[in-house]
């Protein structure tokens, strides 16, 4: 199911008006609605595409790469591009729901706001442990971020009575494929993918109640990703429009070298389709668009590019889109 964010905002306003009225006149009806909403959140997985652009530079039409999967009221964030905290709130999610962060690799469009997401959530209403996962040097990055913001953190602890943020964050560095999280209800597996020169780079698979969502991270064609995504309900895969690269790189001083990097470390239409077909995924979601700010490329062009290589359902992601598994 796809939820239009504008329609969701309209419904939220109507629900607010109804809730205000019922608080005075029909409290039992309001309670029934809240119970129903809580039940809905606890069932299955809700996937929000917070940011869908590829590359580190800010775009007018798409935010930096990030996804969040909400499971039983807890938010599992995958990648933290610039502005992720604001996108998180725009998606209608409470910052206090943040519980887990997974970084696919250490490029700035995927980790620029890794620390800021936690700091800003903590400055709002987050007051519990956060477990973070990713390749080295995740632990060192966490330590240095906390040091950089130590004055603000110390001031808020003393002035506002907040818990110590440094004691709430627990980084876990990963270096190999396999299960990295399992609470008996939800399991997360990772697999190394092909994104030179950054090694290791990971894709993640989330399994819950018989449903599965896979996030490719940045990668060229990857056999490991095919194995990880086998039979997945949703595969969110990065995509590159090769013919549009020259226009993208026209103003780049190092255009030749950057083009070589893009061709070696990202997936073109054929590679994306071949991975989705080989893995037999039920739904392919195109995201992390390269180029990410060329508005002359319509949704249908992205679909038409992949269609010869994958005959299943294809969705072109947009910021704040919601899917369910």
- What residues does 203 pair with on adjacent strands? 191
Residue 112 lies in a domain: yes
DSSP state of 310: -
Residue 95 lies in a domain: yes
Residue 299 lies in a domain: yes
The predicted pLDDT at position 23 comes to 36
Digit-coded pLDDT (tens) for 58-95 = 999 999 999 999 999 999 999 999 999 999 999 999 99
Q: What are phi and psi of 83, to 5 degrees?
A: 85, 15
Structural domain boundaries, residue 120 = 5-13+42-324
Average pLDDT over residues 283-301: 96
* CATH number, residue 282: 3.60.15.10
H-run or E-run covering 24 = helix 5-25
Query: 299-306 and 269-279 are packed helices; what angle lies between their axes, rounded to 10 degrees?
Result: 60
pLDDT band at 34 (very low <50, low <70, confident <90, very high): very low
pLDDT band at 254 (very low <50, low <70, confident <90, very high): confident
Q: How many domains does the chain have?
A: 1
* Global confidence as pTM: 0.86
- What residues does 67 pair with on adjacent strands? 49, 78
Residue 35 lies in a domain: no
Residue 145 lies in a domain: yes
Query: Assign residue 209 a region: left if phi > 0, alpha if psi is -120 to 50, beta otherwise?
Result: left
Residue 273 lies in a domain: yes
Whose CA is closest to 127, among 101, 97, 104?
Answer: 97
């Amino acid at each position: 199911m796809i939820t239009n964010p504008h329609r969701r905002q309209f419904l939220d306003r109507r629900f607010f008006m109804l809730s205000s009225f019922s608080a005075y006149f029909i409290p039992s009806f309001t309670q029934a609605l809240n119970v129903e909403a809580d039940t809905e959140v606890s069932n299955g997985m809700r996937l929000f595409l917070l940011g869908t652009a590829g590359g580190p530079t800010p775009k007018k039409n798409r935010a930096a790469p990030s996804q969040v999967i909400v499971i039983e009221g807890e938010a599992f964030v995958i990648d933290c591009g610039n502005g992720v905290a604001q996108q998180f709130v725009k998606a209608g999610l409470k910052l206090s729901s943040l519980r887990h962060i997974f970084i696919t690799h250490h490029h700035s469009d995927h980790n620029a706001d890794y620390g800021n997401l936690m700091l800003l959530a903590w400055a709002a209403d987050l007051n519990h442990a956060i477990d973070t996962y990713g390749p080295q040097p995740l632990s060192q990055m966490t330590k240095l971020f906390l040091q950089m913001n130590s004055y603000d953190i110390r001031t808020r602890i003393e002035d506002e009575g907040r818990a110590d943020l440094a004691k709430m964050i627990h980084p876990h560095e990963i270096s190999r494929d396999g299960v990295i999280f399992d609470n008996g209800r939800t399991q997360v597996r990772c697999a190394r993918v092909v994104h030179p020169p950054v090694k290791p780079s990971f894709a993640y698979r989330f399994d819950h109640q018989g449903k599965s969502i896979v996030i490719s991270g940045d990668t060229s064609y990857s056999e490991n990703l095919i194995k990880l995504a086998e039979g997945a309900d949703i595969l969110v895969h990065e995509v590159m429009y090769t013919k549009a690269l020259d226009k993208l790189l026209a103003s780049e001083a190092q255009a030749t070298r950057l083009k070589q990097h893009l061709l070696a470390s990202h997936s073109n239409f054929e590679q994306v389709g071949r991975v989705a077909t080989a893995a037999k995924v039920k739904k392919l979601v195109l995201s992390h668009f390269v180029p990410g700010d060329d508005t002359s490329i319509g949704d249908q062009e992205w679909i038409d590019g992949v269609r010869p290589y994958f005959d299943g359902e294809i969705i072109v992601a947009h910021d704040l889109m919601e899917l369910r598994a």
